[in-house]
Chain A
């Protein structure tokens, strides 16, 4: 009965239109180099104000799934990843294109993205109710560790110094301290500015860090080359053969993606890096990697989309973002009265079912729309950067203004843009900063409440079985880079930073 009701919710015309429109939007934004899936989602937020709850969530789910796939397109054709989640296998896809097999590379991106998305959704369907049952008994200790684990996972970003990542995360936490929202309600670090009393809203920070800093980067980097016009053959022609041939890597990619997605704080980018490394490690044809071999594409392409869906697990259950995209989604969920938490699954089951259906639907329509997008890619990618970037900038201003009808947030967007730009330039990962900002008050609240409950004692933090396991995982994530470093010292330097495999 609930399921039927959920179908009815999704079949509402406004939801269907929202899905279609955001699918096209996600495909276009994801395919433009420099415009990431997170940015696509952040710029959608003002639009979701005006939509019904289900339609609002549908736009975020659809746009992010499409953008993650679509990021493969410029990666494959121009060797410029459209989104960071495609960066892991851009060289491989481009090598295939140079061998004249662009259709195979793009088709693999599309087909295995859709499969990854659907498998990820199934994991969400299966895992969420079980975990919800468990989460009902969680106390502030468990929530503290979960949030802390999320922060630590956010620092395990590939290709960056873990210390710089931790510093970024701490900076985010410090920014979250600003304002009156702390256990005592005292204004902190407001410097007498009334606009700061309410704290720093995550949306202007996100838009600044992910969108404005990208416009700034465009100002000082040369324009990417134009795509030559080309006709594509059949996109999906050999995909079934690939599916059968690389069935095992595909499943491994799905599973790794799901695991990384469920981990709070680690998202699609990391899933792709880890899966690509994993694929190379276990492949029977290692030497073919990097020369245009589809195996890695299969595994990593499935992985990043699978992580996208399972990233919603911690977000929906605990309000702890699985990645930067769900960090935005959580804000929208609260705004729409679908407050994350285990009760969401018991009291609002039809909304949850509707959400699952939207996920599946989005991944199914990804295939026809994706083929269309691939065929039109050379037209879309020909849009001059000088025309897109200024418009994005105006959208940033309007979008952040819309979140509070307040010009101060426009200023914040600019400041965060500068901060993000400088950080990125110097090797500080901005995703860790953003998750610090989003989760700061949650970490603090649970930390302080737990400390008060335990009377300053450390033991209750690890006494309960679940909190003990979570604590161990957190310290594992913290000490992981040290382990990699020692391993490198012993084995000779060859391990890419932060990736769990190889």
Chain B
């Protein structure tokens, strides 16, 4: 997702303003001049300043030239969101489905999106969750949820 410096700079200004405003509303510690508000306000001001400088293009000369991107259909960039979606799926589903099934689904989808053949993706989705479960549950004692399908160990 390539954004112009104006957009990212603008976002930083807004974020800085929000941080400074939010910080200024924090309750002070009685009898002290500086409290929890000082640091966020300082950062907020810094972010506003940086945002403005970025938006007007100062410091641009330091950046390395980007390689020109090959043109893709508009939805191609959305593929970048697949990993986030898979992690979200893990958060929502791992308690009910259990680790093995959730991880298998993640690996299968992830591998297919990256262009793997089913011949590779399917065995991977069966074997890797079991291996990871063995390593983390058995050896490292991480309490992974059992869910619908619990491995024999």
By a beta-carbon cutoff of 8 Å, the part of chain A in contact with chain B is 46-47, 49-50, 159-164, 166-167, 170-171, 173-174, 177, 182-184, 186, 188-189, 212, 215-220, 222-223, 384-387, 389-391, 393-398, 401-402, 405, 407, 410-411, 413-415, 417-418, 421-422, 425-428, 444, 447-448, 451-452, 456, 481, 484-485, 488, 493, 497-498
Contact = CB atoms under 8 A, between A and B. Distances in A.
A50 B141 CA distance: 8
A161 B62 contact: yes
Interface in B53-92: 53-54, 58-64, 70, 72, 76-77, 79-84, 86-88, 90-91
Contacts, number: 228
20 contacts: A49-B140, A160-B62, A170-B43, A220-B72, A220-B76, A384-B116, A386-B114, A389-B114, A390-B108, A390-B110, A391-B132, A393-B87, A394-B107, A401-B144, A414-B91, A417-B84, A418-B81, A452-B32, A452-B34, A481-B59
Q: Which of A216, A387, A405 has its CB near the most chain B CB atoms (within 10 A)? A: A387
Given A163-B50, A177-B43, A189-B22, A395 B132 contact: yes
B15 A174 contact: yes
Contacts of A182: 36, 39
Nearest to A436: B43
Contacts of A216: 80-84
B27 interface: yes
A318 B118 CA distance: 51
B2 A386 contact: no
Interface of B: 1-3, 5, 8, 12, 15-16, 19, 22-23, 26-27, 29, 32-36, 38-40, 43-44, 46-47, 50-51, 53-54, 58-64, 70, 72, 76-77, 79-84, 86-88, 90-91, 94-95, 99, 103, 106-111, 113-116, 120-121, 124, 128-129, 132, 136, 139-144
A186 B106 contact: no
A161 B63 CA distance: 5
Given A163-B53, A407-B91, A411-B91, A448 B140 contact: no
Given A220-B79, A410-B87, 13 more contacts: A161-B63, A167-B47, A167-B51, A177-B19, A189-B40, A218-B114, A219-B113, A220-B72, A386-B111, A397-B106, A414-B84, A422-B3, A493-B61
A186 B84 contact: no
A464 to B, nearest CB: 20
Contact of A386 (B22, B95, B115, B129): B115
A250 B103 CA distance: 47
Contact of A219 (B63, B99, B114): B114
Nearest to B35: A184
